[in-house]
Amino acid sequence: MTLLLNIAVDGVAYGMILFMIAVGLSVTMGLMRVVNLAHGGFALIGGTLAHWLGTEVGLPFALVLLGAVAGTIVIAMPLERLVYRRIYGFGELQQVLATIGLTFLMIASVNLWQGSSLLSITLPEGLNRSVDLGFRQLTAHRALVIGVGALVILGLWLLLDRTRFGIRLRAAVDNRDTASALGIDTGRIYMLTFALGAGLAALGGILGAELLPIDAYYPLRYMVLFLIVVAIGGLGSILGSFVAALAIGMIETASRYLVPDMATITFFAIVILFLALRPRGLMGRVGA
Amino acid sequence: MQGLEVRGLSKRFGGLVVSEDIDFDLPPGARKALIGPNGAGKSTFANLVTGILAPTGGSIRFDGQDIAALDEAERVKHGIAKTFQITTLFSGLTVRENLRLPVLERQGQGGRLFRRADSDPKIEAEVEALLAQFDLLALADRPVVDLAYGQQRLVEMALTLALKPRVLILDEPAAGVPSSETHLIIEAIERLPEDLAVLVIEHDMDLVFRVARSIVVLVQGRILTEGTPEEIARNAQVRELYLGGAHG
Amino acid sequence: MTGRLLSIFLILAAGAAAYLLFPYNLAFLTRILIMIVLVLSLDLILGLAGIATLGQAAMYGAGAYAAGLFAIHVWADPVAGLLAGAVAGALLAAVSGAVLMRTQGLTLIMLTIAVAQICAEIANRARGVTGGADGLRGIRPGKVLGLWEFDFIGITGYWYAFAVMLLVFLALAIIARSPFGLSLRGIHESPERMVAIGVSVYRRRLAAYTMGGAIAGIAGALSAQITQLVSLESFSFTLSAEALIMLILGGTGRLYGAILGTVIFMAVHHVAAANDPFNWLFVIGALVLVVVFFLPRGLVALPVSLKRLAKGGRHAGT
Ligand SMILES: Nc1ncnc2c1ncn2[C@@H]1O[C@H](COP(=O)(O)OP(=O)(O)O)[C@@H](O)[C@H]1O
Ligand SMILES: [Mg+2]
């Protein structure tokens, strides 16, 4: 029983991280129909900025978080304009190549600036304290991760369901041409969505550094993991990504607890089996 | 019975009924046209017959044999083929290669590895004959993308005919073709083999009246009426449908 | 036929010239040859059949480990080892392809990456057999065809790899012009139409994927025999990505694009990566973006692209 609860708590925390990082990828891929392999790069950029702001500049954690996320968005916006906007119309192979190229450039830049070793992110004292859950101790940091993840899904739901931007975004995901024919400025929506996705990836990258440690090769190491969340959730579906991320968090955590030697293989086997049976994922509207 | 025999065929997309209780025969040598407003379900009917879509109910028999369980590729092998309403060709390949592919596949040679694709004189002769039949000899070595749309529609027909079908369904063969080139399509249809069963789906009434000996009118998934071109031309309901502006 | 003879002659001449011009770089030249075989396998799958994959390293690695283990435990004969590599690559491709070829687009690309990662993980866990992270060592291939011993300068290795590359090139040139090759191009152009002419696209794609797997396995086997070492890196994403980049750089679907792209890419790599692998990532990242935006059809189409540019037309996208 305790084991199950442990798996549930750790799995949820891990799932929240995956969700924050991958949700932007899912929405941009559903919206812009672009195969983006560089998305993990934004988590890397966020993590690197956080490392720098925390250890070298010495800001307090709240400001580190804010500054790193904002910094990532500032970097992401021009990239959308300069690279992504040009490849929307390209074939999928060209998109794969362009975003691989971008990934390589991100890795090389981070290495040039901060080197290739592990980039630690200093947490404030308070987050290292543990909370007693009765059956186990949970660090305040994990509790924070779960809390922020919940806030993010709530915020996204409000944004999509309750704002004009959300209505337009959903219209554009459903049908891009109709949306622009209706006078919706899809270019602006693309950019804002992209920036939001990159910002969330940075947030997830920083908060998740304990589970997915940050170093220059981060975007390559976890590329498949993030893509799996998107493919299982279904392109363009936020709820799908959320469910998929939690499920993947649980499955991975469970296989680590239960079959530590075969964890990766078990995990991939389940994923491949699922996608073979449901190639469009849980809630895919768009054919992958 | 020889030929195609459809009974009580129906198809629903969710709540939308697109084909309802359709009875339809197409014996060898038939020249039928299927007309009706846009969205009437004509393409859907063609897709049901060729196995691209699975029906919700009803039966499809070919030469007395139930073919409902066969998939698209298997029905092609049985001799049921159709052209696409939207031209679907191997656009980067030349016209000749476009025609060589279906001939090779029909002869069961499509998987061969260690001989050249163009080395079988029988297959090449068949390809040349098709090129000649559709007046495409002069364009044979051009990539299909470079052809005018009317010519692409001819390739579309030639490619389908290369399968030596016994039932040929032409889904709007003249759609998008400038009126100056429609005659090419009409002539090509008139030159089709006598014993081939042909069903033409078309909006161009000139074409329909030129090639069809019998016309079926489909409205909202149901067959409204069937008759000779003269009967259809006189039919008040049909005139209403077309002159009433429903024609898209 | 004369075209074929001419290309054989050109490749032979280039091989001999490289051998004479760079006698002290035979190891590097041999690596290029091995890479060409891998990129050729990708050209069959991606260039002809249009199957987008980022996991060709899976079959390469499988071939490498199979050939290595075969040499250690069964028989040291290099040609038999190549066969073992080909079988391993084909088997892995057939088994994984049975699932993969049902998917397309993003899912397909992702699963191809995943398959390679699984292979790496398995090789890593099965330390007792594969040597795990230390790599598989102790491969001592015998004489090629019982005649030529592998020498430490790498002369035998070079000509052995060259001969294998030439044979693979010729086999693919024949397959590309065969009915099967034509049908793969047809599938690439329009899978819907291929179904409409009565072809099981799934089976054809699986056959192509398996063949490509066999050739990638041969490339892996070559590398195992010549470097006498197999490491987990054989399964790496970077290897798959680089092979893809080489192919696109040269131009897809024409085989000699694979040769051209590989030679140029490896030469640039040799120069740029000499001191710092991360600098190399800058170079390759920029190179890829340049190819995507300015040379979408690769170097073999460069003359055409330039002509269009001179006429004031826009670059040709695909
Ligand atoms: N795959 C599908 N899913 C849902 N509705 C469809 C699908 N295909 C066709 N329809 C609908 O079925 C109706 C008939 O379409 P179609 O057969 O293409 O008509 P026609 O060829 O007579 O113009 C239309 O309302 C169309 O929107
Ligand atoms: Mg129609």
What string of DSSP letters covers A247-261? Answer: HHHHHHHHHHHH-GG
Identify the pLDDT of residue A132: 77
Provide, as residue numbers in chain C, all residues whose Cβ is less than 8 Å from the Cβ of A288: 103-107
Provide, as residue numbers in chain C, all residues whose Cβ is less than 8 Å from the Cβ of A35: 105-106, 109
Q: Closest-lying ligand to the alpha carbon of B16?
A: 1
Q: Which of residues 199-258 of A touch C (CB under 8 A)?
A: 216, 220, 223-224, 227-228, 230-231, 235
Calculate how close chain C gets to A77, using CA atoms only, in Å. Answer: 18
CA–CA dist B104, B119 (Å, integer): 11
Cβ–Cβ below 8 Å for C106 and A288: yes
CB-based burial label for A126 (10 Å; 0-12, 13-18, 19+): exposed
Beta carbons within 8 Å of A179's beta carbon, 6+ residues apart: A168, A171, A172, A186
Mean pLDDT within B132-139: 95
CA of B199 to the centre of ligand 2 (A): 13
Provide, as residue numbers in chain A, all residues whose Cβ is less than 8 Å from the Cβ of C115: 272
Considering only CA atoms, which of C100, C200, C187, C184 is closest in space to residue B71? C200
CA of B202 to the centre of ligand 2 (A): 9
Q: Does C92 touch chain A (CB under 8 A)?
A: no
Considering only CA atoms, which of C209, C208, C300, C292 is closest in space to residue C245? C292
Calculate how close chain A gets to C118, using CA atoms only, in Å. Answer: 6
Provide, as residue numbers in chain B, all residues whose Cβ is less than 8 Å from the Cβ of C194: 101
Interface test with C, best of A36, A93, A278 (most C CBs within 10 A): A93
* Residue B62 pLDDT greater than 70, yes or no: yes
Low pLDDT (below 70) residues in chain A:
284-288
% chain A with pLDDT above 70: 98
Cβ–Cβ below 8 Å for A89 and C317: yes
Provide, as residue numbers in chain C, all residues whose Cβ is less than 8 Å from the Cβ of B114: 174-175, 178
What string of DSSP letters covers C44-67? Answer: IIIIIT----S-HHHHHHHHHHHH
Provide, as residue numbers in chain C, all residues whose Cβ is less than 8 Å from the Cβ of B90: 185-186, 189-190, 193
CA–CA dist C90, C216 (Å, integer): 9
Cβ–Cβ below 8 Å for C105 and A92: yes
* Residue B248 pLDDT greater than 70, yes or no: no
Calculate how close chain A gets to C154, using CA atoms only, in Å. Answer: 33
Closest chain A residue to C290, measured at CA: A98
Closest chain C residue to A226, measured at CA: C110
For ligand 1, atom 5, which residue shows the shortest CA distance?
Answer: B13
Interface predicted TM-score (ipTM): 0.88
Identify the pLDDT of residue A19: 95
Q: Which of residues 89-128 of A touch C (CB under 8 A)?
A: 89-94, 96-98, 100-105, 107-109, 111-112, 116
Cβ–Cβ below 8 Å for A279 and C102: yes
Q: Which residue type occupies A266?
A: T
Q: What is the mean pLDDT of chain B?
A: 92
Residue B248 lies in a domain: no
% chain B with pLDDT above 70: 98
CA–CA dist A60, A70 (Å, integer): 15
Identify the pLDDT of residue C37: 98
What the block records as the tokens of C88 is 């391993």
Residue B21 lies in a domain: yes
For ligand 1, atom 16, which residue shows the shortest CA distance?
Answer: B41
Q: Which atom of ligand 1 is nearest to the CA of B14?
A: 4
Residue among B73, B97, B116 whose CB faces C198 most closely:
B73
Q: What is the mean pLDDT of chain A?
A: 88
CA of B18 to the centre of ligand 1 (A): 7
Give residue C74's domain range.
2-236
Structural domain boundaries in chain A? 2-219
Q: At B183, is the pLDDT very low, low, confident or very high (cuts 50, 70, 90)?
A: very high
Residue B30, SS3 per DSSP:
coil
What is the β-pairing status of strands B16-26 and B4-13?
antiparallel
What the block records as the tokens of A51 is 């490392």
Beta carbons within 8 Å of A57's beta carbon, 6+ residues apart: none
* Residue B245 pLDDT greater than 60, yes or no: no
- Degrees, nearest 5: CA angle B100-B104-B110: 120
Q: What size, in residues, is chain B? A: 248
Q: Which residue has the tokens 């293989």?
A: A265
CA of B24 to the centre of ligand 2 (A): 18
Identify the pLDDT of residue B243: 62
Closest chain A residue to C101, measured at CA: A276
Q: Along the 318 residues of chain C, how does pLDDT read in single tens digits?
A: 577 788 889 999 999 999 999 988 999 999 999 999 999 999 999 999 999 999 999 999 999 999 999 999 999 999 999 999 999 999 999 999 999 998 888 789 888 999 999 999 999 989 899 988 899 998 998 888 988 988 888 999 999 999 999 999 999 999 999 999 999 999 999 999 999 998 999 999 999 999 999 999 999 999 999 999 999 999 999 999 999 999 999 999 999 999 999 999 999 988 887 767 668 889 899 999 999 998 888 888 888 777 777 775 444 433
CA of B180 to the centre of ligand 2 (A): 22
Closest chain A residue to C282, measured at CA: A105
Verify B-A touch: 3 or more CB pairs within 8 A: no
Q: Which atom of ligand 1 is nearest to the CA of B221?
A: 14
Identify the pLDDT of residue C312: 57
**Structure pTM?**
0.90
Q: Which atom of ligand 1 is nearest to the CA of B171?
A: 21
Q: How far is CA B15 from CA A13, A175, B104, C53, C202, in A?
A: 42, 22, 42, 39, 32
- Ligand 1 — pocket residues by CB below 6 A? B 13, 16, 18, 36, 38-44
What is the β-pairing status of strands B222-227 and B4-13?
unpaired
Domains: count for chain B: 1
Interface test with C, best of B105, B119, B144 (most C CBs within 10 A): B105
Identify the pLDDT of residue C304: 76
Cβ–Cβ below 8 Å for C193 and B116: no
Identify the pLDDT of residue C318: 38
Residue C82 lies in a domain: yes
CA of B175 to the centre of ligand 2 (A): 10
Considering only CA atoms, which of C176, C218, C202, C172 is closest in space to residue C56? C218
CA–CA dist C99, A61 (Å, integer): 46
CA of A127 to the centre of ligand 1 (A): 58
Q: What is the CATH number of the domain that holds B70?
A: 3.40.50.300
Q: Closest-lying ligand to the alpha carbon of B39?
A: 1
The sheet carrying B167-171 orders its strands as B80-83, B167-171, B197-201, B31-35, B214-219, B222-227
For ligand 1, atom 12, which residue shows the shortest CA distance?
Answer: B18
Residue among C110, C284, C293 whose CB faces A224 most closely:
C110
CA of B20 to the centre of ligand 1 (A): 13
Residue among C46, C114, C292 whose CB faces A224 most closely:
C114
Cβ–Cβ below 8 Å for A92 and C109: yes
- Determine the residue of B13, B49, B223, B224 to mutate for testing ligand 1's pocket, defined as the one with the most ligand atoms within 8 A of the Cβ atom: B13
Residue among C114, C244, C278 whose CB faces A116 most closely:
C278
Q: Does A265 touch chain C (CB under 8 A)?
A: yes
Cβ–Cβ below 8 Å for B117 and C177: yes
Identify the pLDDT of residue C21: 92
Q: Which residue has the tokens 């300069």?
A: A82
Give residue B34's domain range.
4-243
pLDDT tens track for B146-157: 999 999 999 999
Note whether C76 and C229 are within 8 A (CB): no
pLDDT tens track for C89-136: 999 999 999 999 988 887 898 889 999 999 999 999 898 999 888 999
Calculate how close chain B gets to C59, using CA atoms only, in Å. Answer: 22
CA–CA dist A101, A113 (Å, integer): 19
